[in-house]
Amino acid sequence: MLERTGAQSPFYTADHEAFRDVMRRFVGREVEPYAHEWDEAGEFPRELYRKASEIGLLGLGFPEEYGGVAADQFMKIVASQELARAGAGGVSSSLMSHTIGSPPIARAARPEVKARVLPQVLSGEKISALAITEPSGGSDVANLRTKARRDGDYYVVSGEKTFITSGMRADYLTVAVRTGGEGPGGVSLLLIEGDTLGLSRTKLKKMGWWASDTATLHFDECRVPIENLIGEEGQGFKIIMHNFNSERMGMAASCTAYARVCVEEAIAYAKERKTFGKPIAQHQVIRHKIVDMAQKVAASQAMLEMLAWRLGQGESPVAEICMMKNQATQTMAFCASEAVQIFGGAGFMRGVKVERIYREVKVNAIGGGTEEIMKDLASRQMGL
Residues designated as active site: 247
Closest among 258, 252, 300, 264 to 85, alpha carbons compared: 258
CA 346 to chain centre: 28
**DSSP character string of 259-276:** HHHHHHHHHHHHHH-EET
d(CA 163, CA 201): 11
Return the number of other C-beta atoms located less than 10 Å from residue 9's C-beta. Answer: 14
Task: Return d(Cα 136, Cα 254) in angstroms, integer.
Answer: 28
Pairwise CA distance, residues 47 & 125, whole Å: 9
Rounded Cα distance, 359 and 143, in Å: 31
- Please give the Cα distance from 351 to 355 (Å, whole number): 7
Between CA 255 and CA 92 the distance in angstroms is 12
Burial code (b: 16+ CB inside 10 Å, e: under 16) for 70-92 equals ebbbbbbbbbbbbbbbbbbbbbb
Task: State how far the Cα of 113 lies from the Cα of 294, in Å rounded to an integer.
Answer: 46
What is the C-alpha separation between 235 and 230, in angstroms, rounded? 9
